[in-house]
Structure 1
Amino acid sequence: MSEPAPDSFESLDPDTILNAVEHHTGLFLDGSLTPFNSYINRVYGVTDEEGNRYVVKFYRNYRWSDEALADEHIFLNDCTNFEIPVPITLGESPVGRSGGFRFSVFPRISGRTFDIESDEDWIRSGALIGRVHAAGRLKKAPHRTLCDPEHTTGQYINRLIAEKIVHPDCLSEFSAVCTESLERAKRAYRACAGSGADWGRIHGDCHRGNILRKSDGTLTILDFDDMMTGPAIQDLWLLLPGHLEDSRRELNLMLEGYEEFCSFDRPSAELVESLRFMRQIYFLNWCALQRNDPLFAERNPGWGEKAFWIRETGDLETQLDFLA
């Protein structure tokens, strides 16, 4: 029988972490432990007795099923088979278990955040994502999130309201802007459906902080924790410097690199502002899942209070103006 899954990370102490890594990988660690910034999971740096450095990620329980975690690691393995530089796990299985927690261990990748400063940088970033998507279209990820307004974003909105997470004084305005935005997002998706928009396994959270430039100049993409099934444009728009109307040049440069490795349905670029709204809701739901975690409360004072929901509702109203 498997151990019960803890509701929080409070029982995750240094000995538990180090022993779990050693047992899962066969490594002999030097006993050092460095916590890294991570919101929904717990991530630590460890070092073996020979000075090699690793990262261990303990997954938040109840967020992903075992099958969903398997989908993530199958995707990573497919990327590796395409010679795409991504983190690949150590141990006999991608996911280990200890004390009711699930975790994975990776070699630590050193590098700097990839600052996109030139046309060539935009092309390179698009090429990297195109390679990832070429691997992503090999298989499906049936247990992961579907990047779709009706089946995912709508559920998140309903949860935020039904569980009374939204402050009651802001509920009417929040509900109104979400209802209108959701309808416009659905309309944008329907408009793209007939154009054969390219869907597949995607990274899902491809912002600049998840692309590193290594010392040899190689680009590597990190953190597939939010991988999902969705349109290709989801992994491109997060890198843009602003709204779509102000960023078409940068998008076209990215597509120049992207289309060397993977086809792209050009009309689906018009989903960018709908996807921006959907990400706002996704992030609110993501934070709501953690709201009772003491570390989250410490890092996010005032989350969920009236002033917070006034700001969030205002941001949603601003975004509504960009939705057709």
Structure 2
Amino acid sequence: MSASDHPFHRLTPAFVMDAVESRGYRCDCRTLALNSYENRVYQVGIEEGQPLIAKFYRPGRWSDAQIIEEHEFSRELAEHDLPVVAPLADAKDNTLSHFDGFRFTLYPRKGGHAPEFDNLDNLLIMGRLLGRMHRIGALRPFEHRPQLTSADFGHAAANWIAKHFIPDEYRDNYRALTRDLLQGIDQLMAEGAPRLIRTHGDCHAGNVLWRDEAPHLVDLDDARMAPAVQDIWMMLSGDRPRQLAQLSEIIEGYNEFHSFNPTELRLIEALRSLRIIHHSAWLAHRWKDPAFPTAFPWFNTPRFWDEHILELREQIAALREPPLQLI
């Protein structure tokens, strides 16, 4: 049985509460499933205490060492007073627990609302947070977690889609487009290879909670070695002048705590392209998980593949455009 087929349906409310109580807590029988697809996440009520968040990991994706290293990074950031939701440790200072074939972690529940990244003042604040995080992330590398590479996020993902998933009528076009796109990405990434540091890896609005007029980072599940700009480009949106204004605010705040290398800006469209290719492969790999067709009904339809092919063409053109430059 592959990781994609793993029976997450075993995670009934009773199972979830039994797992949480194995950590020494007493549940009050309130459980609420939260939006999560790669893993499964629940809010669990605790007697005479605040609810906890229980995260059950998809089997086969990460090793124990990789998960623990992510936890250690979160805790390191929290120890330096960064607003990161770090995992809770047990009496033996372990953050990763095992229960009846599943691995899980507990977190404190933290409220907040979605960030307003169209507010330039908020982007200045986010830049400061990322600068602080990367200053710590640059101190030493991950030993177990992977690097963000075109081999994994691009070539392997595109080859799998072409061989195993895409409808026949789109296959030749898809192969040709991804070949040309990845050739451009490889060339960009080979020209003065950027310094890789420990990053959040998936720093989009859905992984930021805003409360008390400040951002709080959550879900470092995709933390990996990557260029610093990987944690910046997903906050950019709109036309080129708008992105330049956004970027200026982010980097101004960033540079207050850590020096950003502006040559990394040439990688933005390459990283965006890799995310587009990898995301479609991620959906395809997980399509047998019943949560995915329900959550992503638009995927694997003729309209999706038409738009995906067009998106790949647009990314080839974007790679040929001059990169964003700081004002």
Asked if TM exceeds 0.5, the reply is yes
C-alpha root-mean-square deviation of aligned residues, in Å?
2.0
Report if aligned partners of 2:162, 2:174 keep a CA contact under 8 Å in 1: no
Secondary structure of 1:35's match? strand
Please state if 1:67 is matched with 2:65: yes
Amino acid at match of 2:54: V
Find the aligned partners of 2:244 and 2:125 in 1 and give their Cα distance.
17
Cross-structure match for 2:46: 48
Matched, 1:148 2:168: no
Q: Which amino acid in structure 2 is aligned with residue 150 of structure 1?
A: A
% identical equivalent positions? 31
- Closer, same or farther: CA 97–243 of 1 in aligned 2, 3 Å: farther
Opposite residue 319 of structure 2, the aligned amino acid is L
**2:260: which partner in 1?**
264
Q: Summarize the Cα distance change of 1:295–1:119 in structure 2 as closer, same or farther, 3 Å threshold.
A: closer
CA contact (8 A) 1:244 1:273 kept: no
For the 8 Å contact 2:4–2:286, the answer to whether it is kept is no
**Residue equivalent to 2:198:** 201
Distance in 2 (CA, whole Å) between partners of 1:319 and 1:63 is: 28
- Counterpart-to-counterpart distance in 1, 2:144 and 2:168: 34
Q: 1:27 aligned to 18, 25, 28, which one?
A: 25
In the alignment, residue 206 of structure 2 is paired with which amino acid?
Answer: G
CA offsets per residue over residues 224-255 of structure 1, 9 Å max, x none?
A: 01111110111101001236565122112101
Conserved in 2, the CA contact under 8 Å of 1:192 and 1:268? Answer: no
| Contact 1:33-1:46 at 8 Å conserved across structures | yes
In 2, Cα distance between equivalents of 1:120 and 1:198: 28
AA paired with 1:13? Answer: T
Mind listing any 5+ residue stretches in structure 2 that lack a counterpart? 321-327
Report the CA distance between 1:13 and its aligned residue: 1.2
Q: Are the counterparts in 2 of residues 45 and 53 from structure 1 also a CA contact under 8 Å?
A: yes
The equivalent of 2:279 in structure 1 is: 283
1:72 touches 1:227 (CA, 8 Å); kept in 2?
yes
- Separation (CA, whole Å) in 2 of partners of 1:71 and 1:186: 28
Deviates more, 1:14-23 or 1:153-162: 153-162
Number of residue pairs matched by the alignment: 315
Amino acid at match of 2:197: G
How many Å separate the matches in 2 of 1:199 and 1:5? Answer: 30
Cα 1:206/1:178, change in 2 over 3 Å: same
C-alpha displacement at 1:44, in angstroms?
0.6
Q: Whole-Å Cα distance in 1 between the matches of residues 239 and 287 of structure 2? A: 30
- 2:323 aligns to what? none
- TM-score, structure 1 normalization: 0.91
Matched, 1:126 2:119: no
Post-superposition offset of 1:268:
0.7
For 1:190 and 1:119, the matched residues in 2 are separated by: 33
Displacement after TM superposition at 1:266 (Å): 0.5
Counterpart of 1:310? 306
In terms of mean alpha carbon deviation, does 146-155 or 197-206 score higher? 146-155
* Structure 1, gaps ≥5 residues long: none
1:106-185 to structure 2, matched below 5 A, reads: 106-162=107-163, 164-185=164-185
What one-letter code is carried by the residue in structure 1 that aligns with 2:103? R
For residues 178 and 27 of structure 2, the distance between their equivalents in structure 1, rounded to whole angstroms, comes to: 50
1:265-301 CA-to-partner distances (Å, cap 9, x unmatched) read: 1111111111110110121122122110112122223
8 Å contact from structure 2 (residues 4, 285) kept in 1: no
